[in-house]
Amino acid sequence: MLEDKLLQLYNEMIAVALSKVYNKSDALDAVQEAWVRILTHRESLREEDKFHSWAKVITANAARTINKQSERILPSGDRDLSDDRPSSRDEREILLEIRDLLESLDPRTSALLLYKFYYGYKDQEIAAAWNVPVGTIKARIHRTKRRLQQWMPN
């Protein structure tokens, strides 16, 4: 029971981190840093029932810190952003719209879409990692795609 809750929280923290950073490695670093902060500052949590939200806020802050640090490490002339960031204004607007849509979803669904379409994991791999049937993953993806199509302007 506790392991399931921790695994669910961990997956949600990864989804939060992935929505804030540019690659999976940085997202995992952000989650690791968040756990360190959670464990070292546990006494600052005033309301136990807010632990879940508190952990996700710490994760988002850790991810933002990693973004700031990576921007400082590489001088702008040495950075090739062609793989990470769009080159035109229209592409940036589309990416911001996609990010807004992903953030409007629950963290589990957002993580599912990122794993499937951004990182290219197969349905079977996601199902194995989440300990659910492949059909469940396919159904969630299908339902979410349909819901997102309804939200998107024509």
- How would you write the pLDDT of the chain (154 residues) with one tens digit per residue? 778 888 888 888 988 888 888 778 888 899 999 999 988 888 888 888 888 889 999 999 999 888 877 765 544 444 444 445 445 556 667 777 777 778 788 888 888 888 888 778 889 988 888 899 999 999 999 998 888 888 766 5
Same domain? For 75 and 101 the reply is no
Same domain? For 46 and 12 the reply is yes
Calpha distance 24→27 (Å, rounded): 5
**Domain extent for 148:** 86-154
Same domain? For 51 and 115 the reply is no
Q: Is 60 left (phi over 0), alpha (psi -120 to 50) or beta?
A: alpha
Calpha distance 18→27 (Å, rounded): 5
Same domain? For 75 and 7 the reply is yes
pLDDT at position 143 is 92
Overall number of domains in the chain: 2
Of 37, 64, 81, the residue that ends a domain is 81
Q: What is the CATH number of the domain that holds 102?
A: 1.10.10.10
pLDDT at position 71 is 63
- Tokens 């690791």 label which residue? 32
Same domain? For 98 and 147 the reply is yes
Length in residues, the chain: 154
Question: In the structure encoding, which two tokens stand for residue 147, read together?
Answer: 């819901």
Of 81, 107, 132, the residue that ends a domain is 81
Measuring CA to CA, which residue among 62, 53, 4 is closest to residue 28? 62
pLDDT at position 137 is 93
Of 24, 50, 81, the residue that ends a domain is 81
Same domain? For 103 and 49 the reply is no
Same domain? For 75 and 111 the reply is no
Q: What is the DSSP letter of 117?
A: I
Measuring CA to CA, which residue among 57, 55, 67 is closest to residue 27? 67
Calpha distance 33→38 (Å, rounded): 9
Q: Where do runs of H (alpha helix) occur along 21-133?
A: 24-40, 51-73, 89-104, 107-113, 123-130
Same domain? For 43 and 106 the reply is no
Q: What is the CATH number of the domain that holds 77?
A: 1.10.1740
Q: Is 85 left (phi over 0), alpha (psi -120 to 50) or beta?
A: beta
Work out the number of other CB atoms within 10 angstroms of the CB of residue 124.
Answer: 10
Same domain? For 68 and 48 the reply is yes
